[in-house]
C-alpha cells in the first residue's frame, strides 16, 4: 500500500483550441476563449451558436467519430509523455474513463441513421477505454464513471483508491464529452445554466459581477498516475474525497456545508492545513448557484488562497472539465505560471486571479461539482521534480 499520495507523470488534451496538450497551453496563455460563434451546424442548433467545439481530425486513428479518436489521442499522448520522462508501466495498469454521455454522435446514429454491428460495438461506453487497454496490453481493471460534471475528478479519486489499495500499479484516467446536438444545447439552456447566444466574456464571469452561466465546450483529457515515487512527475495528488449534498438533481445545496465538509476530508487525509492552501481551482461554471458555492469554499480556505477557473476560456466541458483543469495545472507547475482567465469587471472577489500569475508553490485544492449533488475534492502539490 502506498503512503497515500500518487504522482501525475503524463498528460494529454484535446480541446476547442485543437489537438494536443501544447495547443491547450498555447490557447490558455493566449487568453482568448476557444469558443466561437458557429453557423450552419444544422438540425435544431441555434444559429449562430457559441460553442467551444473540438475540430475534426479525420486522419486521427482510434475510431470513426471525434469522441473515439480524441480518447485514443489523449491516452497515447499522456502515455508517450510519461514514457519520455522515464515512466514504465507496471504489472497492472488500469484505465478509467469519465464521461457524462459517452459517444453522442454514435447514439444519434443508432436511432436516426444506419447502424451496423461495428457501429453498435463502437457506441458501447466501454469500447473506447477498452481499445486503450487492448492497444497497450494493459491488464489492470477498467471502468467507465459518470458523476455528471465532476466525473473527471471522481475518476482521479477512484484511481487514487485503486493505487492505494494495490488493485493497480498505474492508472490512465481519460475523459471525453464531445458531440452535442442542438436539442441538448436548447434543453440545457432552458434550465438557465447554458447560454448559446453570447460570448463567454458576457456570460461566464466566475467570482465577478454579472455572471450568469456558461458557454458549452467539448474536450478530452488524460493523465497517467502512478503510486511509485517518480523523479519527474508534474503533480502529487496528496488526497481525494467524495461526497454528495443530497439536495436537488440540478441545484447546489445553498449553505455549502457539504462542499466544505468534503474539502475538509481531503485536507485531513493529506495532512494539510487549510491556511496553507495557496491555490483554489474552482468549479467556476459561472452560474449564480455555483458562484455562491465556490465563494463559500474559498471563504473557508482563508485569505491566502488565490481562486481561478478555466471555463471562460475552455467552455464548460462537462465531465472532462475537472480532468482538463488538472492537466492545465500540471503544465502550470512546469511553466511556473498559472494561465488564469483575465478578469472582465471591476466588481470581483478580492481573491480572484485577475489574469496570469506566478505559481505560488505549495498545495492547491481542486473542487468538482456535478448534477445529482455529486462533490469531489483533491489536494494537489507540485512535484519536487516538476521542472521538466
Least confident of 22-36, 59-73, 308-322, 349-363: 59-73
For the beta carbon of residue 99, count every other beta carbon within 10 angstroms: 27
Copy the grid coordinates of residue 12.
Answer: 494529454
Whose CA is closest to 218, among 8, 12, 10, 13?
Answer: 13
Domain 6-382 maps to which CATH number in 3.40.47.10, 3.30.160.20, 2.120.10.30, 3.40.50.300? 3.40.47.10
**Rg, C-alpha atoms of the chain:** 19
CA 93 to chain centre: 21
Q: Alpha-carbon distance 120 to 99, whole Å? A: 18
pLDDT in tens, 201-223: 999 999 999 999 999 999 999 99
Return the percentage of the chain with pLDDT > 90, whole number. Answer: 87
Residue 260 has pLDDT above 80, yes or no: yes
pLDDT per residue as tens digits for the range 117-132: 777 888 889 999 999 9
Residues in the chain: 388
Model confidence at 106, in pLDDT bands (50, 70, 90)?
confident
Mean pLDDT of 32-50: 94
Which has the minimum average pLDDT: 3-7, 246-250, 380-384?
A: 3-7
pLDDT of 387 reads: 54
Residue-level pLDDT at 262: 98
Could you tell me if 48 and 37 are in contact, meaning their C-beta atoms sit under 8 angstroms apart?
Answer: yes
**CA 352 vs CA 27, 61, 82, 295: distances in Å:** 20, 41, 32, 10
Q: Which helix or strand (DSSP H or E) is residue 220 part of?
A: strand 219-226
Q: Is the pTM of this model over 0.85?
A: yes
Confidence of residue 2 (pLDDT cuts 50, 70, 90): very low
**pLDDT reading at 71 higher than 50:** yes
pLDDT tens per residue, range 172-194: 999 999 999 999 999 999 999 99
Domain boundaries, given as residue ranges, for the chain = 6-382
- Asked whether the beta carbons of 323 and 221 are under 8 A apart, the reply is yes
Asked if residues 97 and 141 have their Cβ atoms less than 8 Å apart, the reply is: no
Amino acid at each position: 500500500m502506498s503512503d497515500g499520495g500518487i504522482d501525475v507523470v503524463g498528460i494529454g488534451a484535446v480541446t476547442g483550441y485543437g489537438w494536443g496538450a501544447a495547443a491547450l497551453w498555447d490557447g490558455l496563455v493566449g487568453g482568448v476563449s476557444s469558443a466561437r460563434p458557429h453557423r450552419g451546424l444544422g438540425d435544431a442548433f441555434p444559429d449562430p451558436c457559441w460553442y467551444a467545439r473540438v475540430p475534426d481530425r479525420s486522419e486521427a486513428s482510434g475510431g470513426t467519430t471525434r469522441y473515439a479518436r480524441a480518447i485514443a489521442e489523449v491516452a497515447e499522448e499522456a502515455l508517450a509523455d510519461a514514457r519520455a520522462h522515464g515512466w514504465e508501466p507496471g504489472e497492472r495498469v488500469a484505465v478509467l474513463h469519465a464521461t457524462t454521455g459517452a459517444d453522442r454522435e454514435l447514439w444519434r446514429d443508432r436511432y436516426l441513421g444506419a447502424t451496423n454491428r461495428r457501429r453498435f460495438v463502437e457506441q458501447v461506453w466501454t469500447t473506447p477505454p477498452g481499445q486503450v487497454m487492448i492497444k497497450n496490453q494493459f491488464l489492470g481493471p477498467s471502468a467507465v464513471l459518470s458523476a455528471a460534471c465532476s466525473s473527471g475528478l471522481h475518476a482521479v479519486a477512484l484511481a487514487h483508491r485503486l493505487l492505494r489499495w494495490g488493485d493497480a500499479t498505474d492508472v490512465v484516467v481519460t475523459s471525453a464529452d464531445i458531440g452535442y446536438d442542438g436539442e441538448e444545447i436548447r434543453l440545457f439552456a432552458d434550465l438557465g445554466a447554458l447560454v448559446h447566444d453570447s460570448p463567454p466574456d458576457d456570460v461566464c464571469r466566475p467570482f465577478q459581477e454579472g455572471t450568469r452561466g456558461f458557454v458549452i465546450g467539448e474536450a478530452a483529457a488524460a493523465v497517467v498516475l502512478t503510486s511509485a515515487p517518480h523523479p519527474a512527475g508534474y503533480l502529487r495528488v496528496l488526497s481525494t474525497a467524495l461526497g454528495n449534498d443530497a439536495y436537488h438533481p440540478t441545484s447546489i445545496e445553498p449553505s455549502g456545508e457539504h462542499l466544505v465538509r468534503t474539502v475538509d476530508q481531503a485536507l485531513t487525509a493529506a495532512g494539510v492545513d487549510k491556511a496553507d492552501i495557496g491555490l483554489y481551482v474552482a468549479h467556476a461554471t459561472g452560474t449564480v448557484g455555483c458562484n455562491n458555492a465556490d465563494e463559500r469554499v474559498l471563504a473557508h480556505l482563508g485569505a491566502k488562497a488565490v481562486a481561478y477557473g478555466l471555463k471562460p476560456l475552455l467552455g464548460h466541458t462537462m465531465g472532462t472539465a475537472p480532468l482538463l483543469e488538472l492537466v492545465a495545472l500540471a503544465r502550470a507547475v512546469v511553466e511556473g505560471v498559472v494561465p488564469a482567465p483575465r478578469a472582465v469587471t471591476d466588481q470581483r472577489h478580492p481573491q480572484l486571479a485577475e489574469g496570469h500569475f506566478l505559481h505560488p508553490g505549495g498545495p492547491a485544492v481542486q473542487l468538482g461539482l456535478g448534477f445529482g449533488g455529486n462533490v469531489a475534492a483533491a489536494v494537489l502539490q507540485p512535484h519536487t521534480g516538476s521542472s521538466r
